[in-house]
């Protein structure tokens, strides 16, 4: 399971600035269990979008959005709603949002933040997709996660080392930031790279489980003993 929380509607509307028609994709898996994308909360989001003057071309529910094949199939069955939309708002975990981005030639906006729950990657298993950082920035990166696509998890651009589109750490891996640039350019949104995402709340990104089981982590959590006479 990947746990998700809803992004504030103000942040979502900021992503949709200048776009009047939007398709909503809502996951029936983990994020529905978190009360983010279940039918009731998805309908609430649609209502808020419409109250803000947006036209919602449809709501597509996908059983497990992180199943990239199933997501592509479901979207292909709603082509009219996809084509009528300027962009897609996804209520799903980070892996699900990326599965939608891989399936449509439209800008894809995250409606959620995935929060740390142990590194589970959902059903799109070929590679890690989401580090559950709690501050989803896929809107800025064309629906490709820099945490997982870049070998160094660089969040604000390339390290300057890629050669012929390959990562300097591993010549058999495509540079995540080259992929992000190519994707944004194909969407006509390369200018998005000039905008900085808001400051991140790193308290929402817990260390991986193994670190938390280490003795160092335990020591960090231990209250220092007070010397005699101290309050």
Which residues lie near ligand SF4 (CB under 6 A)? 94, 113-114, 130-133, 136-138, 145, 147, 150-152, 154, 158-159, 161-162, 167-169, 175-177
Q: Which two tokens stand for residue 211?
A: 């670190």
Helix or strand or coil: residue 8?
coil
SS3 16: coil
State the nearest-atom distance from the C-beta of 136 to ligand SF4, in Å: 3
In angstroms, what is the minimal distance from the CB of 184 to ligand SF4? 15
For ligand SF4, the closer CB: 151 or 182: 151
Q: Which is nearer to ligand SF4, 81 or 93 (CB)?
A: 93
Q: How far is the CB of 90 from ligand SF4 (least distance, A)?
A: 11
CB of 37 to ligand SF4, least distance (A): 14
Residue among 57 and 67 whose Cβ is closer to ligand SF4: 67
CA distances from 201 to 131, 135, 142, 205, 214 (A): 14, 7, 21, 8, 24
Q: Which is nearer to ligand SF4, 111 or 176 (CB)?
A: 176
Q: CB of 14: closest distance to ligand SF4 in angstroms?
A: 16
Beta strand spans in the chain (E):
3-6, 21-27, 55-62, 87-91, 108-110, 112-115
Cβ distance to ligand SF4 smaller for residue 29 or 176: 176
CB of 213 to ligand SF4, least distance (A): 21
Structure tokens at 63: 């059983």
For ligand SF4, give the closer residue by CB, 104 or 145: 145
Q: Which residues of 166-199 are buried (b: 16+ CB within 10 A; e: fewer)?
A: ebeeeeeeebbbbbbbbbbeebeeeebbeeeeee
Indicate the residue whose CB is closest to ligand SF4: 94
- DSSP letter for each residue of 143-180: T--HHHHSTT--SSS--S--BTTB-SS-TTSB-HHHHH
């Amino acid at each position: 399971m990947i746990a998700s929380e809803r992004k504030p509607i103000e942040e979502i509307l900021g992503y949709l600035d200048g776009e009047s028609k939007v398709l909503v994709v809502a996951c029936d898996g983990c994020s529905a269990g978190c009360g983010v994308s279940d039918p009731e909360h998805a309908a609430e989001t649609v209502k808020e979008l419409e109250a803000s003057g947006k036209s919602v071309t449809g709501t597509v529910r996908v059983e497990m959005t992180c199943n990239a094949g199933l997501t592509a199939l479901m979207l292909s069955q709603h082509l009219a709603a996809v084509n009528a939309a300027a962009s897609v708002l996804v209520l799903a975990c980070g892996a699900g949002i990326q599965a939608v981005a891989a399936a449509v030639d439209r800008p894809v906006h995250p409606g959620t933040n995935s929060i740390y729950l142990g590194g589970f990657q959902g059903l799109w298993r070929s590679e890690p997709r989401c580090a559950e950082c709690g501050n989803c920035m896929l809107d800025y990166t064309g629906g490709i996660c820099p945490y997982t696509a870049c070998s160094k998890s660089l969040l604000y651009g390339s390290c300057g080392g890629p050669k012929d589109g390959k990562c300097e750490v591993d010549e058999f891996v495509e540079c995540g930031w080259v992929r992000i640039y190519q994707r944004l350019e194909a969407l006509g949104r390369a200018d998005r790279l000039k905008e900085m995402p808001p400051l991140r709340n790193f308290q929402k990104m817990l260390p991986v489980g193994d670190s938390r089981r280490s003795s160092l982590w335990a020591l960090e959590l231990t209250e220092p003993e007070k010397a005699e006479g101290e309050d």
